[in-house]
Each structure stands twice: as C-alpha cells, then as structure tokens.
Amino acid sequence: MEAKNVAKAMALAVAIAIPAEGIRLSWYADPPGILTVCYGHTGGVDKAKRYTLDECKALLNKDMLHALDTVERCQPGLPTGVLAAFGDAVYNMGPRIACDVSKSTAARMLKSGDIKGACNQLSRWNKAHILGVAVPLAGLTKRRAAEKTLCLEGVA
C-alpha cells in the first residue's frame, strides 16, 4: 500500500470508528456479548485493567491499520474512500464483508470492479447476532450509512 493512501484512509476510517464505537476505558460486553474495551478493541482484553486514553488510541491505530491491510490484501488498489469505508467495516465486524467472495455480495462486487454496487451493499451489514438471531442495531445502521456515504464519494 502506498503510505500516503494508507494515512488518508486511516484518518477517514478512524473518523467513522471513534464516534461509532465511543470509548470505554474498562471492559464491557458489546451487544453480541464480545469482550471489548477502548474504541471497540476485542483481542486480549484484560478485565482487571483500566486502559489509558493513549493505550486506547494505540490499540485503535494498530487494529485499524490491520483492517486496512486486510482489505488491501484481498481487494488491492481501491480508491482511498472505498478502502477507508471497507476498512472501518472490517475493523468493526471482520474481513468477511470485504474479502469472502463466497459469502459477501459486496466482496464479489469489489472483486469484479463494481465499486458503486459494493458501496451500496454496506447498508445490508447492520445486524448483530443476539441470542442466535440477526437483529438490526441502530448504531450499526448509522455506521454503515457513514461508510456508504464515504465509499460513494467520488465513485462514478
């Protein structure tokens, strides 16, 4: 990935993630019950620890860079806004949306070059599994709308 493109995509994706996630310095369980801390960090959360703002920012940057890299590896060369939008989606829910062409219409559309179609698929990913049932969540609906808007900017 070109460093300038990554830096811009990172800034755009983080601008969506921060208000969507909010910040919690102590652990909590998100709606599907996943152990979470800071700006939505889910890996290796220490229940006994109170995280600092600097630690939370570092976790967000590390996790978002990983998400952007994941998108770039499976869908190379996307425009910056598209990379940022799908990067945030991957940060939020994992790589399936952007990378799994067998289970994601958005991933298939990205792979075929239908970027506008892929961007329009983002709003379909607004559900979380709660007690085994896919339930639309207002926060996810709002977040996917922000990603879709960013994704479609400058796309013909």
| Catalytic positions | 21, 30
Contact between 33 and 11 (Cβ < 8 Å): no
- Residue 1's DSSP bridge partners are none
Closest among 57, 85, 60 to 71, alpha carbons compared: 85
User: What is the rounded distance in angstroms from the CA atom of residue 6 to the CA atom of residue 19?
Assistant: 20
3-state secondary structure of 137: coil
